[in-house]
Amino acid sequence: MSPPPPPRPPPPPRPLQATFASEVAVTDDTATVTREIDGGLQTLAVPLPAIVTADLRLNTPRFATLPNIMKAKKKPVVSLTPDDLGLGGADDLAGGVELLRVEEPPKRTGGAVSASVEEMLDKMKAGGVGL
């Protein structure tokens, strides 16, 4: 009687990341990512949540036209406080960070000019710089 065959290994996990995306389409629980590879285009389906990094071709910038710039100048700028957004006061947003002190860095000392490499090495050894 022969022994039973070894158990099958589990299938490889589905990728949770897609890199160099040139096109992304998101459905309910999956992101379909198209990316450029040496042989052409590769399409991946990754379950969400996933990490997707972008290629230069993913974004097509929109340039503002002059009429839209003029319209934007006329619109009011609304300033909101944390209380307006329901985030509490400034004390609630501090996050427990306490500023202890602020100091200036020590002044830098001037450099020295050496006539030769040997003289520079001697100065460095005398100054405690190990080589």
pTM confidence score: 0.39
> Residue 43's pLDDT is what?
93
**Partners of residue 44 on adjacent β-strands:** 33
Which residue carries 């300033």 as its tokens? 79
The DSSP string of 19-85 is EEEEEEEE-SSEEEEEEEETTEEEEEEEESS-EEEEPGGG----PPPHHHHHHHHHSPPPP--TTTT
User: Which one, of 67, 75, 41, 66, lies nearest residue 55 by Cα?
Assistant: 41
Burial of 18 by CB count in 10 Å (0-12 exposed, 13-18 middle, 19+ buried)? buried
Q: What are the tens digits of pLDDT across the range 16-68?
A: 888 899 899 999 889 999 998 888 999 999 888 888 998 887 777 888 999 99
> Residue 117's pLDDT is what?
92
How long is the chain? 131
